[in-house]
Amino acid sequence: MALTNQIIQDRLTQKFGDQVTNFQEPYGMLTFSAPKEDNLKVLQFLFDDEQLGFQFLTDLQAVHYPDSKGAELAVVYHLHNLKENVRIRFKVYTDINTPDVFSATALFQAANFMERETYDFYGVNFVGHPNLIRILNVDEMDYFPMRKEFPLEDQTRIDKDDEMFGR
């Protein structure tokens, strides 16, 4: 029997009840969220369940939603079932003032560098990560450049002529 989005949603709801929410299917990819405290439980279930078998972490990143008070940062996991060729997206949200999310490195070795990059650019503190240090930016950097707290351009520059940029 083919693994469908409905089967995945039913299995998750069966196991976690109303802890898993926001089920959507943008472009056919099942997307859902859970509380950040349960991220490892959900990931472990998706990995271990024989019917689901999401044992490949394709990508892990963050998104900054500055207008969502209390849930400004989202950590997004893209998982792949290689046997059935099915992909899903799993999100956990956290407050920007306490951006602590449990590390998935014990389950997925590939999460190591992805979590370091997410920390480096968004400031998500992956609790339990074996070496959570900056990976691309300089160590002295005291901010997280992918957050939407900073303007895209330096407004004080005088060497740019707006007319040349269609403004």
pLDDT given for residue 166 in this prediction: 61
Helices 39-48, 5-16: crossing angle, 10 deg rounding: 130
In the chain, where are the structural domains located?
20-145
Mean pLDDT by 10 residues, the chain (167 residues): 93 96 96 97 97 97 95 97 97 96 97 97 96 92 88 69 64
**Cβ partners under 8 Å of residue 48, min gap 6:** none
The hierarchical CATH code for the domain 20-145 is 3.30.460.80
